[in-house]
Amino acid sequence: MDAVSAPWEVLAVCLLLLVASAVTSQRAARLPWLAGIALMVGVTLFASDGRVAYAAIGVTALLHAVTAARFTRTGSAVLIVSAALAAATALTLAAGHTTAAFALSCVLLAVRAGVLPFHIGVASLCERAPVVQTQQLATTLALVFVHLRFVAHEAEAVALAQPLVRYGVAAAFAAALLSLVQKDLRGLYRASTALHAGLLLAAVGAASLHNFAAALLVAVAMMLALGGLGITITSLEERVGPVDFTQHGGRVHALPTLAACFGLFAAAGVGMPGTAGFVADDLLLHTLWMQSPAATVGAIVSAALLAVASLTAYSKIFLGRRTTRLLAPDLSLRERAVAVMLLAALVILGFAPGTLLHPADEFLDEPVQAHVLKVDPAVKR
């Protein structure tokens, strides 16, 4: 399979998330901003120079900051900080300081994905601007692609692989514990995002040992599942208001499609068979095992705890005695279309992960081969 298809496939997932947020939010006034973000994502994925790619990531962060400013000052400020980190990464690459560039890129990933304790900006977006959070998930996926392409192949990345793996899993485990004590739906969404972010950082850390495609699939599965979950939560709260777990359930009777979508996206996030999450978790665990068996166990326990928290939330929100006073309509046609597209992407990659893994392996291994030849030209025969 032609390696050039890898950035196109990632671009398709990014655009799907951006379009999904626009369709469900019905805010046409923001379409010019989304068009600008989509353009910068394209520049990021197809740039042949890491400096240009990180500069484009910085521009997307600034665009997100503008759209988030009316909802959350904290989220907007953190996005501006992430833009500065992206600019600093571009400058260090220009100066040839690859170790500093790798470190800055890892911090940038932690901030944009929401890894504990760098999660304050993402937590604020999940709480106050979930639509913007879905949009920035798309550009975070582009950031993962750029990180894997331009800085994860350096010797410093290999040396720091094990510490990153352990830190990522530890952060994910802490978020899993937090998910068990949440009292409302937004809290569960914040904790779930932080948990997936920790596992993503662990996958990106281990990617330096020639596991680039596995890390990319983990990122794609995470963005699709969390994006779908965020859109579903927004749709539910537009109908019934803020949801806490002390309220009566029974909403499944009035909102069966919405309940099904919530359950499927939550399940995909914890590795439901038949979805991209299952394949991504399998590849992640194999990758982590090579670095740290203890980290592997931690990742498994973290996912299990999140599954318990998600199932408990589902039962409290949707199951139980019928709520006769709930007159809100189920998902509209456009909302169903968005949910079907996101679920279809998860299922397609679940049954045919090679459509992404093979081209990603070929594309992301090119910098590694170039680096090896640069260090030892005799390798080429």
Over residues 54-109, the pLDDT tens digits come to 999 999 999 999 999 989 999 999 999 999 999 999 999 999 898 899 999 999 99
Residue 319: is its pLDDT beyond 80?
A: yes
Lowest-confidence pick of 7-16, 20-29, 108-117, 354-363: 20-29
Are the CB atoms for 127 and 190 separated by under 8 Å? yes
| Amino acid 219: pLDDT | 95
CA pair distance 154, 70, nearest whole angstrom = 40
Are the CB atoms for 235 and 258 separated by under 8 Å? yes
Residues contacting 330, CB < 8 A, separation 6+: 254, 255, 256, 257, 258
Residue 320: is its pLDDT beyond 80?
A: no
Q: What band does 323 get if pLDDT is binned at 50, 70 and 90?
A: low
Q: Phi and psi at residue 244, in whole multiples of 5°?
A: -115, 165
In this predicted model, which residue has the larger pLDDT, 323 or 331?
331
306: its two tokens: 């999140």
**C-alpha pair distances (Å), 305 with each of 208, 270, 301, 312:** 28, 9, 6, 11
Q: What band does 5 get if pLDDT is binned at 50, 70 and 90?
A: confident
Q: What band does 380 get if pLDDT is binned at 50, 70 and 90?
A: very low
CA pair distance 368, 175, nearest whole angstrom = 33
- Tell the burial category of 46 from Cβ atoms under 10 Å away from its Cβ (0-12, 13-18, 19+): middle
Q: What band does 249 get if pLDDT is binned at 50, 70 and 90?
A: confident
Q: Region 141-168: what's the mean pLDDT?
A: 90
Q: What is the CA radius of gyration of the chain?
A: 20
Q: What band does 114 get if pLDDT is binned at 50, 70 and 90?
A: very high
Closest listed residue to residue 345, CA positions, set 86, 13, 40, 11: 13
Q: What band does 111 get if pLDDT is binned at 50, 70 and 90?
A: very high
DSSP line for 48-86: SSHHHHHHHHHHHHHHHHHHHTTT-HHHHHHHHHHHHHH
Residues contacting 260, CB < 8 A, separation 6+: none
| Amino acid 247: pLDDT | 76
Closest listed residue to residue 287, CA positions, set 161, 152, 137: 161
210: its two tokens: 């020639």
Q: Region 291-313: what's the mean pLDDT?
A: 92
Q: What band does 326 get if pLDDT is binned at 50, 70 and 90?
A: low
Residue 209: is its pLDDT beyond 80?
A: no
CA pair distance 228, 338, nearest whole angstrom = 8
Residue 366: is its pLDDT beyond 70?
A: no
pTM of the model: 0.91
Q: What's the chain's average pLDDT?
A: 88
pLDDT tens-digit map of 185-207: 999 999 999 999 999 999 999 88
Lowest-confidence pick of 25-34, 95-104, 122-131: 25-34
Lowest-confidence pick of 31-45, 88-102, 361-375: 361-375
| Amino acid 1: pLDDT | 45
In this predicted model, which residue has the larger pLDDT, 46 or 239?
46
In this predicted model, which residue has the larger pLDDT, 214 or 24?
214
Q: What band does 155 get if pLDDT is binned at 50, 70 and 90?
A: confident
Residue 306: is its pLDDT beyond 90?
A: yes
